[in-house]
Amino acid sequence: METLEGAELCFPELLNTSCRKKVRPHSEAIIISILLFSISLITVALNVLVIISISHFRQLHTPTNLLLLSLAVSDLLAGLLLPVEFLFAEACWLSGDLVCTLSFFLVFSVVSVSVGNMVLISIDRYVAICDPMHYPIKMTQTRVRIYVCLCWICALFYSSLILKDHLKQPGMFHSCVGECVVVLNYIAGTVDLVFNFIVPITVIVVLYMRVFVVAVSQARAMRSQTVAVTHQRPGTVTAKKSEMKAARTLGVVISVFLICVCPYYCVSLAGGDSLDSASSVIFFTFLSYLNSCLNPVIYAFFYPWFRKAIKLIVTLQILQPGSREANIL
């Protein structure tokens, strides 16, 4: 009987302190593993294509695309972390408390960077549509690079503050050996909810509502042709069609982001302090990671330059001399 019990433990030699294995039916475990690693592989592959496309072709070195590049890097990391997130909840953790804490630190950082990137994209589209005359001045490539760097630095700093107790004492909340869990106290959980969800989501929604209103009014003005461009005031210059199209595309990206991420925070808020104990949280965590796979798919549907870039990358034409100057737009 002891041998049978030992076989169900993560560490059979530690009968009194080891966690029990979470056993699933064999067929179910295989299906989940295949699905998990397939999505992880697809997410990584698609975002690598985005990163290569924007980094390689000079025509794509625009402020907006720099933000998409930053988002693709965070999505790439999310794709790599997806199997790790599954291990948090479904399997015995065999890598020790320090690696567990560092893994959670990476997860928190990637989520924060993704949220920050979405806020920057919203600001970029707001300036492009609502203040097009000053867009080339306010959103230069140099400034956007600074904004992106600050976004990543702030995300790392924020995650270190949220998890400072766990970083000082890894494994402080695990109940048995073989468990990887992070528990946020009430203050830390509230701060995370406000600064990583409520505030950025509010900013995104408000900015895009403004963009939507301005875009609709400009579309009506262009259709009716009642106002001549020469009679427009400097502050009401109509945005370019390309900017409007980019706003619509990135609006889809942000909408999908909200659909995928909001349920996770809502369930986490209702489920208590532990971020990985409830089975419902596992599903919504998976949904939030799925967003990282969907972003490149959206680009493929709405951006002809991305489809053209993929063709050049897959056929290895980017290895030819002068390929960086190719006409990709």
For 36-69, write each residue's pLDDT tens digit: 888 889 999 999 999 999 999 999 999 999 999 9
2-325 has CATH 3.40.50.1820 classification: no
The CA distance from 217 to 214, in Å, is: 5
Residue 157: the pLDDT is 94
Q: Identify which of 18, 77, 22, 14 has the alpha carbon closest to the alpha carbon of residue 276.
A: 22
Residue 15: the pLDDT is 65
Tokens 């924060």 belong to residue:
112
Residue 186: the pLDDT is 79
The domain spans of the chain are: 2-325
Residues 6+ apart with CB under 8 A from 181: 88, 100, 173, 174, 175, 274, 276, 277
pTM of the model: 0.83
The phi, psi pair for 260, rounded to 5°, reads: -80, -35
Tell me how many degrees the CA angle 154-158-160 measures, rounded to the nearest 5.
120
Is residue 210 predicted with pLDDT exceeding 50? Answer: yes
Max avg pLDDT among 89-103, 142-156, 195-209: 142-156
Residue 246: the pLDDT is 67
Residue 278: the pLDDT is 45
Residue 82: the pLDDT is 81
Q: What is the largest CA-CA distance in the chain?
A: 89
Residue 77: the pLDDT is 93
Is residue 230 predicted with pLDDT exceeding 70? Answer: no
| Least trusted range by pLDDT, from 60-74, 82-96, 151-165 | 82-96
For 270-302, the pLDDT digits (tens) are 654 444 444 566 677 778 788 888 888 888 788
Taking residues 210-229, report their average pLDDT.
67
Is residue 308 predicted with pLDDT exceeding 70? Answer: yes
pLDDT band of 194, cuts 50, 70, 90: confident
